[in-house]
Chain A
């Protein structure tokens, strides 16, 4: 049984050896790394500009909106090894970053936030329901933990079809307290499906800290009892994420079954737009900024001479222009036709319109 790290996991996580970023053995011209950095910058800018648009007078983005700022390394790390021809990703409602990382055009994402027909879900999904099935991005799901069984099903289908694909099923630290988590983890292991269950642990479920929501504070140990490997990793380090996801995905592709990974990270913004973050001290915020995944990665690339300040400035300017353009287009796009509300409910036609 592949539970090799069970002994390690019985130690408190702080004492556990953290995996180091893998030493680069392949010389790089930096193109791939710069692309990853640029994507992290793009996601950050998308989210921060969304914040601005949401809070402007005459609010053009409505509904619940959950920003991903501070957690970019997880999405970008997964995207780095994601095979769009056969892999699948499914996520909770904090889903803008993953969608962009998997290649969603920011103009399409922003249009969805504005509720326009040009959005990824034609304005019928909104912030919590970004989908791009063609590249393996299966949402964007609004009910905490409700999508974890769907992730199990995506992976089941990959195994059934024997197509070598892997499902990355992401959720927050709050979701592991839903029953769906235990049901899906158990079944995934029984059925040996190629799934990677990833907790994006930002330490707080809306306003309830892990210490108050999980009797076992060490969330990696919540993966005990499912006969699958479980790990805690630095979710702010994109190289760590890539290395861990590679190992877990290989395990899945080889038919060895699922893996459970807790990626520790931090969200810079509130749970949603109405959250003033009163449960955090300034010190905590400042401390977290020292561990900003973008700053960390930029520093590493500079050290390795793969990027310089001018290049970073140029990237910042580019992504800023890209997001501004996305906002302009989303704003100018027409509202959906009112008749469109009756479309996309059923795939078939019936003698009587069920929605009449």
Chain B
């Protein structure tokens, strides 16, 4: 066990899996000679050579589709997007090709591919570069969507994603890459896809979140709720958004009778709305208050620091929502 950065955890996961399986390769913009736009792949070109760590032109549709075709032939590509926001220009490759080819061929293919990169609002990048793509991909049958919130999860979930025989949408954040945490160096350390983690057990209210919003604001809000308001929060880190671990969420809500979902998506048709859809019916008879959903304002993401901060869930908004469902 060593304390390493989130980016190192990602790198170690890739390096270990590439050592383990010669069919795994990494491809994307600036992953090789530049050593990674965010230094995630630093040193990998030297270790594995240009046949397995491959720079691409700025052609998202070209290289994401290349990955799908290679996966159809039995390779296990890791395709890095500099930002998930850029996948609007290649979404056809992910949705129509990666997700659909198995189904529309009657099951003739496995598509073992990982698409990974930074997702969501990463501070002052403006409306085009700040998209939260989780709700876009989590609604697509044929895809698995993973969103790690700690360095340990980054490693364990990425290794499982690379070993997975289905296409995985792996959502990181530029604003988490420098986070540090204890991470196993056991090459067989993995975390299961599709299982949420109860990060903090509690009795009074269930708070559900994941990834960057969890790291940015939910943990601070939880500390305030516990320490300042005496509310015993049960915090669930979803880790995987498709498939959703409904069981962990429902069991928790049946115990606490209250729930707040927090993400940084837009609310209407947002990730939290989809989660609500899954929880409403099995939890309805156990709820003492309607499930609350804290999300970003329904506006394009502004460039200005203060406007951007203002649009996103804050500690205050989360505390207010949790106190609201607890009627305190």
Contact = CB atoms under 8 A, between A and B. Distances in A.
Contacts of B102: 344-347
Interface in A129-168: 129, 131-134, 138-143, 146-158, 160-161
Contacts of B164: 348
A226 B180 CA distance: 45
Contacts of A184: 62, 65-66
A190 interface: yes
Nearest to A150: B69
Interface residues of B, number: 53
Interface in B63-106: 63-75, 92-93, 96-97, 101-106
Given A139-B105, A152-B66, A187 B97 contact: no
A160 B51 contact: yes
Interface in B121-171: 141-142, 144, 164-166
B75 A160 contact: yes
Contacts of A138: 69, 72
A353 interface: yes
Contact of A124 (B64, B104, B144): B104
Contacts of A153: 65-73
B195 A351 contact: yes
A247 B244 CA distance: 52
Nearest to A147: B97
A154 B72 contact: yes
A354 interface: yes
Interface residues on chain A, size class = 35 or more
A121 interface: yes
A180 interface: yes
Contact of B92 (A125, A146, A347, A350): A146
Contact of A187 (B57, B165, B166, B193): B57
A347 B70 contact: no
Contacts, number: 172
A6 interface: no
B73 A158 contact: yes
A157 B93 contact: no
Contacts of B63: 149, 183, 187
Nearest to B72: A138
Contacts of A175: none
Contact of B107 (A90, A122, A191): A122
A346 B142 contact: yes
A351 B61 CA distance: 32
B25 interface: yes
Given A151-B69, A344-B106, A351-B192, 13 more contacts: A125-B104, A150-B93, A153-B71, A157-B73, A160-B25, A180-B62, A186-B59, A187-B57, A345-B103, A346-B166, A348-B166, A350-B243, A353-B243
5 contacts: A120-B106, A161-B73, A190-B57, A352-B243, A356-B243
Interface of A: 88, 90, 119-125, 129, 131-134, 138-143, 146-158, 160-161, 179-180, 183-184, 186-187, 190-191, 343-348, 350-356
